[in-house]
Amino acid sequence: MSETHVDPLGPDAIDPGPLGHASPPIPTDADSLAAAGDLLRALAAPARIAIVLSLQQQGKCVHELVGEFGFSQPLVSQHLRVLKDAGVVRGNRNGREIMYELVDDHLAHIVNDAVLHATERHHD
């Protein structure tokens, strides 16, 4: 008699993952991995990480970010352009200013987790 294995969670169940957190299946096709690589490259600069951390609190315009970090206006604009091209931030015109905000909360989680991970003490 052969034994048939039945998944008790069913074929559409969400895998709890290695850390026990429920998450949807992660796409591993080439396009999805390339898009994730592009996103991570856009987030790789410390100045862009700082901008994302700042924007998770509230939307800000370029001059507010310049004042907060002491970066030059052209540098802040350049970093915002990279983040915008990567789909991390969007700009909404408010009169003469453009208010920048994060596209969604996932991005703040990625950056927060990366910063927390980098500052944790790891014991081998």
Q: Does residue 73 form part of some domain?
A: yes
Q: Please check whether residue 15 lies inside any domain of the structure.
A: no
- Asked if residue 110 is part of any domain, the answer here is yes
- Please tell me the predicted confidence (pLDDT) of residue 8: 46
Is 93 a domain residue? Answer: yes
Arithmetic mean of pLDDT over the chain: 85
Specify the CATH number for the domain of residue 113: 1.10.10.10
Contact 60, 99 (CB under 8 A): yes
Number of domains in the chain: 1
Contact between 14 and 24 under an 8 Å Cβ cutoff? The reply is yes
pLDDT in tens, 41-94: 999 999 999 999 999 989 999 999 999 999 999 999 999 999 999 999 999 998
The verdict on residue 27 lying in a domain is no
The model's pTM is: 0.76
Residue 4 lies in a domain: no
Three-state DSSP class for residue 97: strand
Q: What is residue 52's predicted lDDT score, i.e. its pLDDT?
A: 97
% of the chain with per-residue pLDDT over 70: 80
Query: What b/e readout covers 75-109, taking b as 16+ CB neighbours within 10 angstroms?
Result: ebeebbebbbebebbebeeeeeebbbebeeeebbe
Provide the domain limits for residue 101. 32-120
